[in-house]
């Protein structure tokens, strides 16, 4: 990787595509932060700031939080010192206006932009997302269709029996999130494709296989 040019890697994928997990692995490998707008918004929503209630209500239904709120949060996060060498954006941009806004931010800072799509068929996504649960104690992630704990109801990692489902993971909400993805985010992929910035990875494989393909693509361009 050419460390003299700061790099902005944008990870785009539908809910359940594994983009969060891949972003975390990549972040550790490249030594640049992963910035998840979903995580930032969940944090704001759980607090008591001016926007908390509004953000909470939108996230619970699977809709998109207004661009102006995202613009403030992203601008402020990208101006932190740990982003100087680069960063990985997980979950932003999610529509064309956000993509245009991001471009204006990056132009000022002179980052090299790379966009990665993680593509997964919709039926697989529904099972991945609706089946997902995690250990409240150590954070280990499971899935009732694909990855159950060895001993039903006991966490493999820490032995706890305290599991949590994400409150926006029920099927109706997931369908709404997928609808938003199709309507708002797929055009963003076309936008980046036309600019020759897009790399597409088949996400319907094991985490390691997806990660290998991802790093193989990135090593050619970084
Ligand atoms: P995620 O953790 O990326 O799946 O995001 C969870 C939820 O946060 C989404 O369903 C949206 O309600 C909200 N969200 C995250 N990123 C954005 C964004 N870039 N624009 C609008 N809403 C977002």
Q: Pick the catalytic residue: 25, 34, 128, 132? A: 132
> pLDDT tens digits for 96-145?
999 999 999 998 878 999 999 999 998 898 888 788 899 999 999 899 88
Check pLDDT > 60 for residue 169.
Answer: no
For residue 31, being part of any structural domain is answered with yes
Query: SS3 for 165?
Result: coil
For residue 83, being part of any structural domain is answered with yes
For residue 130, being part of any structural domain is answered with no
Indicate which residue's Cα is closest to atom 8 of ligand 1: 38
For residue 157, being part of any structural domain is answered with no
pTM, entire model: 0.86
Confidence at residue 72, expressed as pLDDT on a 0 to 100 scale: 96
Residue 134 in tokens:
């995690």
Domain around 81:
7-121+179-221
Indicate which residue's Cα is closest to atom 2 of ligand 1: 38
Q: Pick the catalytic residue: 166, 179, 195, 220? A: 166
Q: What is the CATH number of the domain that holds 213?
A: 3.40.50.300
Question: Which candidate, 221, 210, 220, 190, places its Cα nearest to that of 26?
Answer: 210
List, in sequence order, every beta strand (DSSP E) within 91-147: 112-119, 132-135, 141-143
Cα of 152 vs centre of ligand 1, distance in Å, is 31
Check pLDDT > 80 for residue 175.
Answer: yes
For residue 1, being part of any structural domain is answered with no
> pLDDT tens digits for 55-64?
999 998 889 9
15 Cβ below 6 A of ligand 1: yes
Confidence at residue 62, expressed as pLDDT on a 0 to 100 scale: 86
> pLDDT tens digits for 185-200?
999 999 999 999 999 9
List, in sequence order, every beta strand (DSSP E) within 69-157: 86-90, 112-119, 132-135, 141-143
Q: How confident is the model at residue 42 (pLDDT cuts 50, 70, 90)?
A: very high
Strand ordering across the sheet containing 112-119 = 34-36, 86-90, 7-12, 112-119, 198-202
Tally of domains within the chain: 1
For residue 140, being part of any structural domain is answered with no
* Dihedral, CA of residue 100, residue 101, residue 105 and residue 107, to nearest 10: 20
For residue 217, being part of any structural domain is answered with yes
Which residues lie below 8 Å from residue 58, measured CB to CB, with a gap of 6+? 64, 65
For residue 165, being part of any structural domain is answered with no
Is 177 among the residues known to form the active site?
yes
């Amino acid at each position: 990787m050419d460390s003299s040019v700061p790099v902005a890697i944008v990870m785009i994928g539908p809910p359940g595509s594994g983009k969060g997990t891949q972003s975390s692995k990549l972040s550790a490998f490249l030594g640049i932060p992963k910035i998840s707008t979903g995580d930032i918004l969940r944090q704001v929503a759980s607090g008591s700031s001016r926007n908390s209630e509004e953000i909470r209500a939108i996230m619970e239904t699977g809709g998109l939080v207004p661009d102006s709120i995202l613009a403030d949060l992203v601008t402020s996060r990208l101006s932190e010192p740990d982003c100087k060498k680069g960063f990985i954006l997980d979950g932003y941009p999610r529509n064309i206006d956000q993509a245009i806004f991001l471009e204006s931010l990056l132009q000022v800072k002179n980052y090299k932009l790379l966009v990665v799509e993680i593509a997964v068929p919709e039926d697989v996504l529904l099972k991945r997302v609706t089946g997902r649960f995690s250990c409240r104690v150590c954070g280990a992630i499971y899935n009732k269709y694909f990855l159950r704990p060895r001993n039903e109801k006991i966490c493999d990692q820490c032995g706890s029996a305290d599991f949590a489902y994400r409150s926006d993971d029920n099927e109706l909400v997931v369908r709404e999130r997928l609808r938003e993805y199709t309507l708002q985010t797929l055009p963003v992929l076309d936008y980046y494709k036309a600019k020759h910035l897009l790399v597409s990875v088949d996400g319907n494989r094991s985490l390691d296989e997806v990660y290998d393909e991802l790093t193989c693509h990135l090593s050619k361009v970084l």
